[in-house]
A and B are shown apart, each in its own frame.
Chain A
């Protein structure tokens, strides 16, 4: 470990096996001669092992071992945390599985989230924080963004009053856990809601209602380290994610006040990457919709020519050295 130079320090890419976006970044790093160790934490323990010691050293001494690579924990340059699968022990009974998964999550997960000298893109715990929509809205308000009026409630009268006051509004789930119908995963599409649809079942759990923004287009801003890539998306859809074939993409420049607010937002959560969604109004206002700490971005590179893969590779290659 003593004679390792910075250039030998690997980038960890933590994601599932079917992740073309990660592949683009890995190819770029490979071309630059930056060592990469890729694994899916969900492969633990069948195809991933880990040992980490502390007490007589400043930080962890040990490694993670994949079938093809080994990374010294004290020498990880950076981590690209994408979309690893969950821990699973389906062959164990329920209680044994719960025990095994909890040890894996708090043990392996705990080690991978506490590597000294590692730049996280993004840190998994910070991703976890930023995935809470209420926390995101509160941070967005504090950062100075313009926000659509939003109500999170389990009080039917309040929901009804909100919907009457704001006219066109939408319902959004606060989170979409696994929900299977006939073995098929379900979601809650973002759709409009009116006051007369509300009844006492709103008491059953928390619900998020939001005034529908009268928009002329959407804007996706991908912030990668110090770089900002803003793209206007024209689709004519309420939620542009529902049909990509309708999109046209135009690179734009974020107004200075929006840029400042995005920086403040990312600083608040400790993120170095963020995919911001805005609704662009007729008068040119950028209304904050949400920021996804793990948003997709690679599909926008070919139609816009924006060098996002290179920007991500720059970030991961530089690690904490250039920051």
Chain B
């Protein structure tokens, strides 16, 4: 949901500078590579089943632990804040 409702942008053509904060942008710290290849919902329990590359059932990745890792591969436990999620603000709010 948009917390600061605005109309369509009306650019006036003034050039402004690339923000200082972008100099600090950097890759997420190396992520632990998840050892599962596929997930599906168990219809009976409504919990997730994890499978490895060979299609065999495998353990879930754990307790929603490691944060500050690259959230692109999934979300849980990867990024402690919602805003870490790639599709949070922009992904969601650009559909206004």
Question: What is the interface of chain A, defined by CB distance below 8 A to chain B?
Answer: 13, 15-24, 26-27, 30, 36-38, 67-69, 83, 85-88, 97-98, 101-102, 105, 109, 113, 124-125, 127-129, 131-132, 171, 173, 175-179, 181, 184-189, 191, 198-205, 207, 239, 241-244, 275, 292-299, 301-302
What DSSP secondary structure best describes chain A's contact surface?
A: mixed
A23-B24 contact in complex given A105-B92, A124-B1, C-beta closer than 8 Å? no
Chain B residue total in the interface (Cβ 8 A): 55
Could you tell me if A83 and B76 are in contact, using CB atoms closer than 8 angstroms?
Answer: yes
A86 to B87, CA, bound (A): 6
A171 to B25: give the CA distance in the assembly, Å: 11
| Listed A/B pairs (16) with beta-carbon separation below 8 Å | A16-B75, A18-B75, A22-B76, A83-B75, A86-B91, A98-B95, A102-B95, A105-B1, A176-B83, A177-B89, A185-B72, A187-B28, A188-B24, A189-B24, A207-B20, A241-B68
For window 53-96 of B, CB contacts with A under 8 Å fall at: 60-68, 70-72, 74-77, 80-92, 94-96
**CB atoms of B68 and A17 under 8 A apart:** no
Nearest residue, chain A, Cβ from B62: A20
Contacts of A37 in B (CB 8 A): 46
Name the residue of chain A whose CB is nearest to the CB of B24: A188
Taking the nearest CB of chain A, how far is it from the CB of B96, in angstroms? 7
A68-B46, A109-B1, A132-B3 in contact; A20/B63 too (CB < 8 A)? yes
**List of B residues within 8 angstroms of A132 by Cβ:** 3
Decide: B1 and A125 in contact? CB cutoff 8 A: yes
Tell whether A67 pairs with B74 under 8 Å between CB atoms, given A178-B91, A296-B80: no
Verify B3–A128 contact, CB threshold 8 A.
yes
A198: which B residues are within 8 A, CB to CB? 20
Bound-complex Cα distance A67 to B43 (A): 8
User: What 9 A-B pairs have minimum CB-CB distances, sorted nearest first?
Assistant: A204-B19, A68-B43, A299-B65, A101-B95, A86-B87, A21-B64, A178-B86, A177-B90, A201-B20
Most chain A Cβ neighbours within 10 Å, of B17, B61, B81, B84: B81
The one of A20, A294, A295 in contact with B61, judged by C-beta atoms closer than 8 angstroms, is A20
Given known A-B contacts A21-B76, A68-B43, A188-B24, A204 and B18 have beta carbons under 8 A apart = yes
Tell me how far the C-beta of B9 lies from the nearest C-beta in chain A, rounded to whole angstroms: 14
Q: Which of A69, A171, A201, A296 contacts B67 (CB 8 A)?
A: A296
